Structure 1
Amino acid sequence: MTVETGPADAAGTSEPADLLAQLNAHRGELPRKLGIELLEATPERVVGRMPVEGNRQPYGLLHGGASVALAETVGSIAAMLNAGPGRAAVGLDINATHHRALTSGTVTAVATRIHAGRSAAMFDIRITDEQGRPVCTSRLTCLLRDQPPAGGTIPGRG
């Protein structure tokens, strides 16, 4: 996959709205099926939202796996933005603690950078309901590697 970047700013990065549109267009099959939409994307913080409807388990509650997929989506995108040119982020470890059951509405995930070095990046991910109440807390660690997988490029990094 090749993603073109928009006009560069003084730091040489593409404009945020342009990058966000590209990330949403290339977010992958699972995030599309789950209805995940990216709202904000910088190396320090990525925000995404997902509907509860369509992502429920047999008891009618938000599926814990859907929450983890949302957390991994926003965290992995943040890690990609931290990887740098010609590099890729690969998930290494994720954990999640579920706090509240939901049957409807939307949830919002905020991935905040804890650490980003040459070989690894870690993110704290907080998922909340529409009232700002905690639904799930997660932490994601990604390995940062050379050579994007399958000849792809990292959005915003060329």
Structure 2
Amino acid sequence: MEINKMKQWLDMAKQFHQGQFWDSVFDQDYTKQVMEQFTNPAVSVNQAAAAPSFPRAEVLKSNREIVILIDLPGVRKEEVELSIMDGSLYIKGVSNQSYPDLQVVQAERFKGEFERAIPLPDKVGSGAKISAKFDNGMLEIRIPRPQRPRENIRIE
């Protein structure tokens, strides 16, 4: 029985030595992305980690409305698209390089195309008067909350 274990160990060590072991352990695309972070100085570790949550958002609500604040530093309002579907606010756009003619030495801010769904706390009616205002890199979206009329309950 000990000989069988030793043989298994040797087979595994052989695979490890040939590089096949790590190929099977790690997903190829993920490994490539991680390695690119270390070999390409223009891509930072923080940028890759932040990409799924870009842009940063805050959802607030009162009795009358839902307010969504979205940070979009360096993004022009013409490069942003907003839509509402299935109880979520969808934001899509592009964050371009501020100085495309300069070489990047260190990059910590997200650049490129982005798309994100932000779940809303209430369903939004199709006729809702939604407003959006873009000022100094901050997008503010206001969605009126459906007002439910007060309903009296008859006591028997």
Where on the TM-score scale, by shorter chain, does this alignment land: which range? under 0.3
- Kindly indicate which of the two structures has a greater share of residues assigned to strand: 1
Question: Normalization by structure 2: what TM-score?
Answer: 0.28
Structure number with greater Rg is 2
